[in-house]
Structure 1
Amino acid sequence: MVLVVEPSPPMQPASPPGLPPRARHRRLLRLQIHSVVGTISPFVDMRPPPAIDSTARPPASMVLPTDAALHHLHSTDAAGPLPCADPVHTGAREVDPTFNINRWMNRSKGQEREVFDELVGVAEMKVAVERTGGIVVLAESFGHSVFKESLQRIFQSSDNDLGLSFNGIFEINCSKDVKIQGIIGPCTSLEKKSPLSSDTVVGQGSTSAWKMCGLDRKTSICLVFDIAKKDGPDAISQSTSNQFYFQFLTYYQHHEGQMRLRATTLSRRWVAGSGGVQDLIDGFDQEAAAAVMARLVSFKMEAEADFDPIRWLDRALISMCSKFGDYQKETPSSFSLSPRLSIFPQFMFNLRRSQFVQVFNNSPDETAYFRMMLNRENVANAVVMIQPSLISYSFQSGPEPVLLDVTAIAADRILLLDSYFTIVIFHGITIAQWRKAGYQDQQGHEAFAQLLKAPREETDSIIKERFPVPRLVVCDQYGSQARFLLAKLNPSVTYNSDNPPPPGGDVIFTDDVSFEVFMDHLQRLAVQ
């Protein structure tokens, strides 16, 4: 739908001269809300994308007080909500006090935001955006490449449909042996009461149907189930039937207007006793489990006031290793994990250090943005967010993946780090000196020119396939922006290590434990 706005008699007095940008933004967004909710048919989709910067926050909302001591940071949020801040959907209500998520959802409209600066209220608008299936692009300014390329990407669909579907409803049918705890993802509960609902609620729960106002081919949701208690009135003894099933029904509106239904039915079998342990191990997906743990810990950090994410992750990992590991009691050196489980501790180590758990260096808006993207992306992308990929380029070999460790740094090597939100091209000190000397432009140094070109080509291919577009950082060893790489590496060599780094290597100035120390503690606790 294309809306053409022409001059017409004013419905209200003109804006006063010199109206500040934040007040103009408030009036614009209020007009969008009333236009969509009051005039647009529930069967016609519309996705208004207002752009917000740090000057657009209405002072009356008091979400960000002028007192510097109350700036909108995680440290102040931990002490309690800011004055006048609504913990549910302040960002929408500060524009229109009558805003209601259910009214917006019933019109199947996605709340989208293109946001600039770090203190514009994304954390307060997270609920409205996520429950209506909207998208947020967080950038530094209107002219930043992240915003410009992401905005262009929305309209680069070969099918002329923007790759979007609308007005979706997701339903679950399953055996009575299992109960539905809820969904973590871009949806909202339709409050459809069902005997399949568990008493324990995770995310959007207490229902068997959810509304998904906007979805695409990459939209991914996390479903959490519980095993029904055997003494419950609806429980069925698992011994009477070795099978249980799930059926997922997805209704959605195609861009051509037709309503479509996709049904997915799958069956699984119960395993019990010590003989079923190997069956559980064989069916374990380490990457999917890491993505689920990331969503769960992010949800608990927002929902539970006194939640300790590090302790919760450590306990879950120790419990899993103690149950499924091979070891002799009280002998840490004998501990080992099946290849189907061996990478999971590494995922948990990096999740503990990720932006989803360690929020100290990020604003609440940045943290909300990271978690919104985690909650809608598929497993492959979620794993990159948790444990970035690292590729090495050198004269000795072609592009090859290397360990996410500080020992990967070398003077004659280029590293390409992909952490999903940021892509870093890191030049070793020797490579950086040659580049600054212009050797790549001189005859006879074509190999060096190709070495510099290879990571840029790989970066372009990654950016082309990703939305929102990631930030690109090109840096040199010992440069200020090298911190974007060092913050993601395993600190196996630090400033107080006994063994110095090899020539051309680097150290990390941190007191964080390395992965080796982490595994030593894990093995010691798992075999107790």
Structure 2
Amino acid sequence: MSTYQEFIQQNEDHDGIRCSWNLWPSSRLEATRLVVPVSCLYTPLKERPDLPPVQYEPVLCSRANCKAVLNPLCQVDFRAKIWACNFCFQRNSFPPSYAGISEVNQPAELMPQFSTIEYIVQRGPPTPLIFLYVVDTCLEEEDLQALKESLQMSLSLLPPNALVGLITFGRMIQIHELSCEGMAKSFVFRGTKELTPKQIQEMLGLMKPATSGQQGKPLAPHDAAASCRFLQPVQAVDMNLTDLLGELQRDPWPVPQGKRPLRSTGIALSIAIGLLEGTFPNTGARVMLFTGGPPTQGPGMVVGDELKTPIRSWHDIQKDNARHLKKATKYYEALANRAAVNGHSVDIYACALDQTGLLEMKCLSNLTGGHIVMGDSFNTSLFKQTFQRVFSKDYNGEFRMAFGGTLEVKTSRELKVSGAIGPCVSLNTKGPCVSDNEMGVGGTCQWKICSLTPATTLALYFEVVNQHNAPVPQGGRGAIQFVTQYQHSNTQRRIRVTTIARNWADAQSQIQHIESSFDQEASAVLMARLGVFKAESEEGPDVLRWLDRQLIRLFMFHLRRSPFLQVFNNSPDESSYYRHHFVRQDLTQSLIMIQPILYSYSFYGPPEPVLLDSSSILPDRILLMDTFFQLVIYHGEVRIKCLYYESGAPILTDDVSLQVFMDHLKKLAVSSSA
């Protein structure tokens, strides 16, 4: 009999699942008494070298409002060739291709070791990967040169049949035509005029010309893609594009003293999204924005061009003194939703010493699964290495990226799904398993995930709906099925299905069993995600009060002081960056963010983890702290060097220390009023 810890680890390795509780309370009343709801962290594309995809399509339940996928938990009558759905109990006949199955000749999806299985869908033509570079030319010469070299390097990492495009912008926006030989040709747009998707597509020749008395009509996607001069296969334009990138110049418009350059980021993104809408709707694509400063003109501007007017701070936002904030945010949210509808993701690579408008633009990446990278300069090893990692490959030599994903969750009748938190948008799919009690992005059982990596992790929250006076039969199990459809980086359509089950338990007679099934690590991350989600939409003090009510029970001391909830000493852009990463990383990385790891090295023994407190700073110790975002090394007095500590100088903070918190917690635990 394995321990719960072994069971939990096995489920994470095998299915990419970590549940807050591994025994579920059998009634709504008992579930509401738990601090942490029934919930889980799910990594849809967790790497499994031992999970080769099968070359056929899944068998679905025939009930119209179920459509669950055949799985190892279903009851099967091999003689009658019938299977019973474990979600709705519908009896289904196997398709003719399963005529030869028997107890000793079972398909993979009925075997217990295939609780997660991946199918290759043979339908439809393969679709290429698409990368559309959107490049800010209002950069310092050194920065622009470094960025050009990184972009040229990235071309060598793309598959030869991948489609690539280039848009550059400053005061004006240029869409570069890549198919013409011997001469540079581009379409130029004003950076101040907002254009509808239809206008963009007409100007770029992606619509049939208007006839007398009629408006122009969109070309069929295949025709539009074939006639598009702006997105071409890498193998056809590699040399042209390499030369074009090498010849890029800084934005030619002069910038008077005391002014910011005029940067039309909003229109550049609108054109990029409009171009992809008109050529490759519902196909995986990446818009990759490289920017070195805030949008300063046109729709989506974040700050004016006067340097004496600083970009908004948290203080300005709290005082409702951020003039462009609401309008810019609304503009980028509309663009993000357009991209998400078509399965296109938007990356933001923002490198500048000041803010670049990430707060207003974050929805572009948060809703579409795109990356956000923030740095001081494009001419740093940090940016160059991070950008290279975007194109890293797996054990099969294929990109660790997938596109155009949808996640559907199915539950047994005692459960309903309350919502999801992660890089996703709702598909507004109602059904019998959708809860009215929303947590995160709720009111649906399906979500769109435009871009995924093997580390992309969603938090999913559930509601136990079984009534207290209608107990689950002894030995009953609740089940959840996750169905992820996506475009693999090798252009195949795939479906990954994970089906899990947990036993129901009576909280009155089996409370010790429920307690022992508690996964503290997963619960800390799941509750932290709720806190970060609330912090994006609710007042800061209200979120901290909510967290304080959970704090003692879950011991998440460092989360309260983290940049995910505290905005003190962080710019709005930095807060957006930290929150973006937290709501998509897997459990291990999320735990490091919540409570950074501190190791102590000495001459007297091996390295050891120590308390994340100033009391761990000793003169004969070297400390290494990993916060996920930074590695900090402290050299003790004996080694002379010191990063963040002066010998004998106390470290003062604006909050109680961990040691004081622990002492207070001990007093509370033994007091009669606790």
Normalising by structure 2, what TM-score? 0.58
| CA shift for structure 1 position 375 | 0.5
- Structure 1 stretch 198-207 or stretch 216-225: which is displaced more? 198-207
1:78 aligned partner: 318
In structure 2, how many angstroms separate the alpha carbons of the residues matched to 1:271 and 1:191?
32
Q: For the structure 1 residues 64 and 31, does the alpha-carbon distance in structure 2 shift closer, same or farther, using more than 3 Å as the test?
A: same
In structure 1, how many angstroms separate the alpha carbons of the residues matched to 2:483 and 2:297?
42
What amino acid maps onto 1:224 in structure 2? Y
In structure 2, how many angstroms separate the alpha carbons of the residues matched to 1:281 and 1:505?
45
1:3 aligned partner: 164
Name the structure, 1 or 2, with higher relative contact order (CA <8 Å, separation 6+).
2
Match of 1:377 among 585, 590, 598: 585
| CA shift for structure 1 position 372 | 0.8
2:435 equivalent to 1:201:
no
2:650 aligned partner: 507
| CA shift for structure 1 position 102 | 3.6
Q: For the structure 1 residues 11 and 392, does the alpha-carbon distance in structure 2 shift closer, same or farther, using more than 3 Å as the test?
A: closer
In structure 2, how many angstroms separate the alpha carbons of the residues matched to 1:306 and 1:476?
31
1:156-210 CA distance string (max 9 Å, x none): 3254432111111101000222221110001111110123222222221100001
2:544 aligned partner: 310
1:77-133 CA distance string (max 9 Å, x none): 22337224337844637xxxxx54343123211110101234211111222211111
In structure 2, how many angstroms separate the alpha carbons of the residues matched to 1:87 and 1:274?
53
2:247 equivalent to 1:247:
no
1:106 aligned partner: 341
Structure 1 contact 184–221 (Cα < 8 Å) conserved: yes
| CA shift for structure 1 position 9 | 5.9
Match of 1:363 among 571, 574, 598: 571
Match of 1:183 among 420, 423, 438: 420
1:249-274 CA distance string (max 9 Å, x none): 11111122221111111111222333
What amino acid maps onto 1:517 in structure 2? V
Q: 1:318-329, aligned counterparts within 5 Å?
A: 318=552, 320=553
- Structure 1 stretch 240-249 or stretch 177-186: which is displaced more? 240-249
| CA shift for structure 1 position 367 | 0.7
What amino acid maps onto 1:478 in structure 2? Y
What amino acid maps onto 2:429 in structure 1? K
1:47 aligned partner: 286
Structure 1 contact 410–505 (Cα < 8 Å) conserved: no
In structure 2, how many angstroms separate the alpha carbons of the residues matched to 1:209 and 1:509?
48
Match of 2:514 among 274, 280, 294: 280
In structure 1, how many angstroms separate the alpha carbons of the residues matched to 2:458 and 2:430?
20
Match of 1:265 among 499, 523, 541: 499
2:643 equivalent to 1:476:
yes
Q: For the structure 1 residues 274 and 514, does the alpha-carbon distance in structure 2 shift closer, same or farther, using more than 3 Å as the test?
A: farther
Match of 2:269 among 23, 26, 29: 29
3-state SS of the aligned residue for 2:575?
helix
In structure 2, how many angstroms separate the alpha carbons of the residues matched to 1:184 and 1:477?
35
Q: For the structure 1 residues 273 and 28, does the alpha-carbon distance in structure 2 shift closer, same or farther, using more than 3 Å as the test?
A: closer
What amino acid maps onto 2:478 in structure 1? F
| CA shift for structure 1 position 145 | 2.6
Structure 1 contact 406–506 (Cα < 8 Å) conserved: no
The size of the alignment, in residue pairs, is 427
Structure 2 contact 600–622 (Cα < 8 Å) conserved: yes
3-state SS of the aligned residue for 2:288?
coil
3-state SS of the aligned residue for 1:86?
helix
Structure 1: stretches of 5+ with no match in the other structure: 94-98, 321-343, 434-474, 480-503
2:293 equivalent to 1:132:
no
In structure 2, how many angstroms separate the alpha carbons of the residues matched to 1:114 and 1:428?
36
Structure 2: stretches of 5+ with no match in the other structure: 1-161, 166-177, 192-250, 256-260
1:494 aligned partner: none
Q: For the structure 1 residues 53 and 91, does the alpha-carbon distance in structure 2 shift closer, same or farther, using more than 3 Å as the test?
A: farther
Detail structure 1 runs of 4+ shifted over 6 Å in the superposition. 13-16, 67-70
| CA shift for structure 1 position 301 | 1.4
Match of 2:450 among 213, 218, 225: 213
What amino acid maps onto 1:208 in structure 2? C
Q: 1:336-355, aligned counterparts within 5 Å?
A: 344-345=554-555, 348-355=556-563
Percent identical pairs in the alignment equals 36
In structure 1, how many angstroms separate the alpha carbons of the residues matched to 2:572 and 2:189?
37
3-state SS of the aligned residue for 2:163?
coil
2:388 aligned partner: 152
| CA shift for structure 1 position 19 | 6.9
| CA shift for structure 1 position 68 | 6.6
Structure 2 contact 423–449 (Cα < 8 Å) conserved: yes
1:475-519 CA distance string (max 9 Å, x none): 53536xxxxxxxxxxxxxxxxxxxxxxxx6663123522334323
| CA shift for structure 1 position 13 | 7.0
What amino acid maps onto 1:405 in structure 2? D
Q: For the structure 1 residues 431 and 523, does the alpha-carbon distance in structure 2 shift closer, same or farther, using more than 3 Å as the test?
A: closer
1:164 aligned partner: 401
In structure 2, how many angstroms separate the alpha carbons of the residues matched to 1:400 and 1:19?
57
What amino acid maps onto 1:72 in structure 2? R
2:642 equivalent to 1:405:
no
In structure 2, how many angstroms separate the alpha carbons of the residues matched to 1:230 and 1:270?
13
- Structure 1 stretch 149-158 or stretch 207-216: which is displaced more? 149-158
| CA shift for structure 1 position 371 | 0.7
3-state SS of the aligned residue for 1:284?
coil
Q: For the structure 1 residues 208 and 511, does the alpha-carbon distance in structure 2 shift closer, same or farther, using more than 3 Å as the test?
A: closer
| CA shift for structure 1 position 29 | 3.0
In structure 2, how many angstroms separate the alpha carbons of the residues matched to 1:478 and 1:523?
29
Match of 1:116 among 343, 351, 366: 351
In structure 2, how many angstroms separate the alpha carbons of the residues matched to 1:181 and 1:260?
26
| CA shift for structure 1 position 390 | 1.1
Q: For the structure 1 residues 370 and 9, does the alpha-carbon distance in structure 2 shift closer, same or farther, using more than 3 Å as the test?
A: closer
